[in-house]
Chains A and B, each alone.
Chain A
Amino acid sequence: MKAALSKVELESDMASRFGDAFKLHEKSVVETLSTGIDEIDALTGGLPRGSLSEIFGPASSGRTSLMYSMLAHATSREETCALVDTNDVFAPTAAGATDIDFERLLWVRCAGDLEHAFKATDLLLHAGGFGLVILDLGDVAGKEARRIISSWWYRFRRTVEDRPTVLTVISEETCTRSCAALTLELKGAAEWSGNLLRHNAIKVNRQRPLSPWFHESQFSAVNF
């Protein structure tokens, strides 16, 4: 009893000097944007708005397929999207087979210039109003991506924080470090039927946020 009283006295004394440190803050509901793929939405709950998400994996792991799906879903909701294409690899003829509405997609081709890609992303985030901004670093070599200074990621995270924009980074290896609110690792395995490529079976591993419950699934499989 005595200990409980002294704890209460201590807390009230501290509260008067340290503000609302002892108040219980309710976590606000995070709005999300669906990826357009039910299996991945079930795994992740969707891409969080106002945050940075990262999707990484080697070539042929399904990153671009997932990007098409995200763009198709976002543009179907009449949201304006932007794609910062670092190495100019976006194929409109292939993406045209999906439901992406190109009239709502701003494509920025950076011809391999990493600095331009980051500056372009910064301009787009500061302009505001975009529902989905994708920074495609998929063809940037891993060692070059790891050399990207952390301050860029923190700047992006801070800029997008109070906006309903989803910023997604696609890369070969993880490079956003702790700035990403959601990190997905993709692994692909092509399945052939005779001489025909049947589909690319993708395994999605949610790396961030880590699940506190060991039995909650952090893997999902999708066929593209």
Chain B
Amino acid sequence: MFACIYAPQIPADLSLTQFAYGFSPVVEEVRGGTVVIDVEGCELLFSSPYQLANEVAQRGQKSRTEDGLETTVSVAIAANPDAAIHAATYLKGIAYVSPGEELTCLGEFPIDRLDYSLIEMEKKVAGEVLETLRLWGVRTFADLAALPVAGVSERLGQEGIKLQQLAAGKTERHLKVKQPEPVFAQSLELEHAIAELEPLSFIFARLLHQLCATLNAYALATNELCVSMQLEDQTTHERKLALPYPMRDHKVFLKLLLLDAEMHPPQSAVRSVLITCEPVKPRVLQNGLFVPLAPAPDKLELTLARLAKLVGEENIGSPVLLDTHRPDAFRLKHFTLATKPDRRKRLKAGNPQLAIGNQPCLGFRVFRPPLRAIVQADQGWPTQISAWGKQRSVYGRVVKLAGPWRTTGDWWRDDRWGRDEWDVTLERAGQQTLYRIYRELKTENWFVEGNYD
């Protein structure tokens, strides 16, 4: 059995849906001012559906402090939701529509009151059918219900049949229950503040497990985790973990979170933990049979986090060349698995004349920072070089050299650069090595930039 509560004039700050939840957990919001509840099993609380309707009407008139709506409500009980809606909308007070006796209650309603939106019929289609019925002289619900089904079907089609069933109060459907918005957040307040990482890991594990279970239930994943910890010194320690791909594996999340906590520990003991995430659709990846070897995304992310902890976040990644002629200009970007085909193959596919070069290229090993050098020169040509640094030193006699080549750049900026470069072969203890040296134009200092290898 279903009960429809009709209250078109309730204060704006009160919610008819919240009021209805006080009587049943299954509530459908039909439209503003109209809700339908499932009263199956209400006998345990209200002895009968009629008693429930009485209770609804009485409570509706009460003030908001008594959980009322401060207005008169109409309540109708029926065996199907649509009959209950029609009865509550057009009959004041409490109406009880016995199962099988729907037309007794609804039969006299004019056909204009037929709510075709309940059967999801378009306004235009419903208008045409109702107009036809008016032309036939069909005036009430009872008149429409009395028409032969076969005739209605032949002349008005399925739309006519649906309207006839609606008028007869014989539509059967489930309530369209509004699902509460899922909350993708888990929090825990601790009885005693925790200062060590190991006990905190158990808290993280529990919260992440619940969070991932919620994501799984909604078939979602996340590519960002936000952790907020309230500390004992009244401050908040917040961390954000950005993931390259949507994931929902709580074990991977736990390892990443612990690695991050080791690298960025909170300043004092933790009193409460809140973990939230932004749900997104999971990544759908169809692997082919001949896909080249690549690390698994979640394992790669863990490995990158471990490497970051070992050598520092700023020392791992893929190099990206900058659009400048400044020497050794590059930046590191976060390493992710390349998915698009090789750039050169795409270029080659577009232009068959291009070929992937097979000519070996002379390698260069750069010294960071460049080695400060003392150069003995003869009429401007280096003859002897001594250079030193923290980890290496370069000494030797120049046996062959090429240059100088002048390079300058960024002349419009404060950090403009200019230098004269040389390629030299240094000999030391019978060993010859190729180096690139340069002299800064501004300071006239010599440096050894690296060696060709």
Contact = CB atoms under 8 A, between A and B. Distances in A.
A108 B307 contact: yes
A123 B306 contact: yes
A6 interface: no
B433 A109 contact: no
Interface in A81-108: 87-99, 101-108
A97 B358 contact: no
A101 B344 CA distance: 9
Interface in A54-76: 58-69, 75-76
Q: Decide if the interface of chain B is mainly helix, strand, loop or mixed.
A: mixed
A90 B315 CA distance: 12
A197 B402 contact: yes
Instruction: Give the size range of B's interface with the partner.
Output: 35 or more
A199 B320 CA distance: 27
A101 B330 contact: no
B356 A60 contact: no
Contacts of A66: 360, 363
Interface stretch (A20-28, A110-118, A175-183): A110-118
Contacts of A104: 318, 338
A223 interface: yes
Interface residues of A, number: 73
A200 interface: yes
Contacts, number: 194
Contact of A62 (B328, B330, B450, B453): B453
A200 B434 contact: yes
A80 B336 CA distance: 10
Contact of B292 (A62, A79, A108, A190): A79
B365 A64 contact: yes
Contacts of B327: 93
**Most chain B CB within a 10 A radius of its CB, from A96, A119, A123:** A123
A196 interface: yes
Interface stretch (A10-18, A126-134, A152-160, A210-218): A126-134
Contacts of B150: none
A110 B423 contact: no
Given A78-B341, A93-B327, A37 B360 contact: yes
A113 to B, nearest CB: 8
A73 to B, nearest CB: 9
List the 8 closest pairs (A to B, CB-CB), nearest first: A64-B363, A129-B295, A64-B453, A65-B363, A92-B319, A94-B364, A127-B303, A89-B365
